[in-house]
Amino acid sequence: MVGSDIELSYRVPDDMQSQVIISIVLGFATDPAMRWCWPDNDVYINTMPKWTMASGGKAFAAGTALYHNGCGALWLPPGVTPDEPMMESLITETINPDLHDTLALLGEKLTPYQPHRQHWYLPLIGAESTARGQGAGTALMESVTRVCDEQMQLAYLMCSNPMNVGFYQRQGFEVMDEVRVKDFPLMIPMVRLPKKQHR
């Protein structure tokens, strides 16, 4: 399925791609997992835009990148996956080599939680500080979860900040597990089952 064939609210026009990336970079500036990887501010600012494109950039071509009032979300529709070679390259080039074994083990621990059936994947949603609590994130979530319900499809994400679990639960996501690896921050895989439509 191609995301551009689906009616989505808040779809990003071509000239706003950079704004989406900026909002996500600012939104993840205090994220425990991202700052474990890139604790230095300069390295984070230089690397996070590239990581954003590697993990969720295909959403732009798929027509499933969304933006609303300082909040950006990169949804990957069924059949579209992150650019893993680019992600691996960024890990090698930008993250302390002493941390690579931990990241490899984390990847092994998290892989089994990814749904085997077709699903929507949300690698990144982030809001600028002035946009938080204004409903923009909820709007970007509901734009896709509505489609998931209509087409009876799963949605999946990996929560890297326990403070955000409640937000995702309000969108219908359920905690699958809590994954701890060495000193890496807690990771929480979450899945959303489609809700039956009442006609």
Bridge-based pairing of strands 119-127 and 154-159 is parallel
Domain count, the chain: 1
Domain membership of residue 59 (yes or no) is: yes
Domain encompassing residue 143: 3-192
- The per-residue pLDDT for 134 is 73
What is the number of helices (H) and of strands (E) in the chain? 8, 7
Instruction: Going from the first residue of the chain to its last (199 residues), give the mean pLDDT of each consecutive group of 10, the final group possibly shorter.
Output: 62 89 96 98 98 98 93 96 98 98 98 96 91 82 95 97 97 98 98 80
The string over 12-31, giving b where at least 16 C-beta atoms fall within 10 Å of a residue's C-beta and e elsewhere, is: beeeebeebbbbbbbbbbeb
Does any domain span residue 37?
yes
pLDDT of residue 198: 52
Q: Residue 154: which CATH number?
A: 3.40.630.30
Domain assignment present for residue 199? The answer is no
186, part of any domain: yes
Q: What is the pTM of this model?
A: 0.92
Structural domain contains residue 197: no
- Phi, psi values for residue 177, rounded to 5°: -175, 175
pLDDT for 69 equals 86
The verdict on residue 20 lying in a domain is yes
Whether 40 is in a domain gets the answer yes
Residue 188 lies in a domain: yes
